[in-house]
Amino acid sequence: MEGEKGSVCVTGGAGYIASWLIMRLLRHGYSVRATVRSDPKFKEDASHLVKLHGAQERLQIFDADLETPESFEPVINGCIGVFHLSHPMDFEGTMSKETIIKTSVEGILGILQACLKYKTVKKVVYTSSIAAASLFDTTKNIKEIDENQWSDAEMIRKLDFIGAAYIASKTLTERAALEFSKEHGLDVVTILPSTIIGPFINSTLPSSFPMTLPLIFGNEEHARFMKTGHFVHIDDVASAQIFLFECSKAVGRHICNKTDVTIQEIANILILKYSEHLLPNDYLSKWEEEKPDHFSSKKLTELGFKFKYGLEEMIDGALQCCQDKGLL
Ligand SMILES: NC(=O)c1ccc[n+]([C@@H]2O[C@H](COP(=O)([O-])OP(=O)(O)OC[C@H]3O[C@@H](n4cnc5c(N)ncnc54)[C@H](OP(=O)(O)O)[C@@H]3O)[C@@H](O)[C@H]2O)c1
């Protein structure tokens, strides 16, 4: 039975953020076609999705891979919307930077071509990242970052640091999507969440947690990368994705960031509540504290979106889930 709001496709459906979004879309009355990679060599299984409220009647799971973009065609045919979240997330350096970029860019172009071909899709919401709007040129000295800033993907793709492949691929994929939208008149909006933390419905630890919460799950390199951070609650991100899909005035890029903090501020919360889980480290005291830049969500809030959650709720939500699932 199709939900009263119609069918939408969510790519990367077994992932951390997509799973939460699917839960919220089902609650909102949509039917959901989730794509997963069913090959057992990939890490996620989708069993948590089939247990969701409404899943039996309104969730269908399809096998699709960004490496064969045409695999998304039968999923997209008949959908009114696409939420594209799948992305080769590799912070361990197992895939080459160029493979990650190629898979991600060709993947989104294939998905957008399928939307043109079947003509049922009214809007595509691409989940980019503030990594695509980050400034690495310190001479510019801009402290408030908005949607006009783009990361310099060509400069970053030549560098070798943890996260370089991610930043370059997210930037080039978002650019490709918006250029396609302009060229073909397909409605594509992008959301640029900051680091997403909060509870999860997957049974395994979200792949982003070593980067996101390095003092508990990562190492010094992860922690140095997150010396200052920008955070948003997973439920606020899902609300914003649905809000942008439903909002007729939404155009182009939208930063979705709740708070800008230093790693020391996060450490203070962790020391108070989760000290027994902190990895031993002496690097925090070695670093000079940096003031974080501000990623502005003004464009999103001026459209009427409201954030609900603060930093402590994000951290509590994530770590309580880890404890409940025996992952901490
Ligand atoms: N986590 C954050 O803090 C954050 C912040 C901003 C933006 N985002 C964006 O949000 C999206 C979801 O991230 P996440 O944190 O939920 O990561 P995740 O849990 O690792 O989810 C990524 C998903 O992409 C799928 N995927 C990877 N390579 C694929 C391929 N070749 N073909 C098809 N699917 C593929 C994965 O499938 P398998 O399970 O089969 O590997 C997984 O389901 C990404 O686009 C990410 O850039 C995340």
* Ramachandran region, residue 141 (left: φ > 0; alpha: ψ -120 to 50; beta: rest): left
d(CA 173, CA 301): 25
The helix or strand, by DSSP H or E, that contains position 104, with its residue range, turns out to be: helix 97-118
Q: What is the pLDDT of residues 228-272, one digit of tens each?
A: 999 999 999 999 999 999 999 999 999 999 999 999 999 999 999
Residue 315 to residue 296: CA distance in whole angstroms: 21
Superfamily grouping for domain 7-199+230-258+293-308: NAD(P)-binding Rossmann-like Domain (3.40.50.720)
Query: Which range is least confidently modeled, 14-28, 70-84, 187-201, 281-295?
Result: 281-295
- Identify the residue whose C-alpha is closest to ligand 1 atom 24: 86
Gap from CA of 25 to ligand 1 centroid (Å): 18
Rounded CA gap, 200 and 198, in Å? 7
Domain regions of the chain by residue span: 7-199+230-258+293-308
Average pLDDT over residues 152-180: 93
Q: What is the chain's mean pLDDT, rounded? A: 93
- Is 42 a residue whose pLDDT tops 90? no
> How do beta strands 228-233 and 259-262 pair?
antiparallel
The H helix count followed by the E strand count for the chain is 15, 12
Closest residue by Cα to atom 11, ligand 1, is 85
Has residue 43 got a pLDDT over 70? no
**55 C-alpha vs ligand 1 centroid, how far in Å?**
21
The answer on pLDDT for 40 being more than 90 is no
Max CA distance (Å), the chain: 59
Nearest atom, ligand 1, residue 195 CA: 3
Q: Write the single-letter amino acid at 185.
A: G
Ligand 1 site residues (CB inside 6 A) read 12, 14-18, 37, 42-44, 65-67, 85-89, 103, 127, 129, 170, 193, 195-196, 206-208, 212
> Which is it for the CA torsion 228, 232, 233, 234, positive or negative?
negative
pLDDT interval class at 160 (50, 70, 90)? confident
Residue 46 has pLDDT above 90, yes or no: no
Banded pLDDT at 139 (limits 50, 70, 90): low
| 192 contacts 175 by C-beta, under 8 angstroms | no
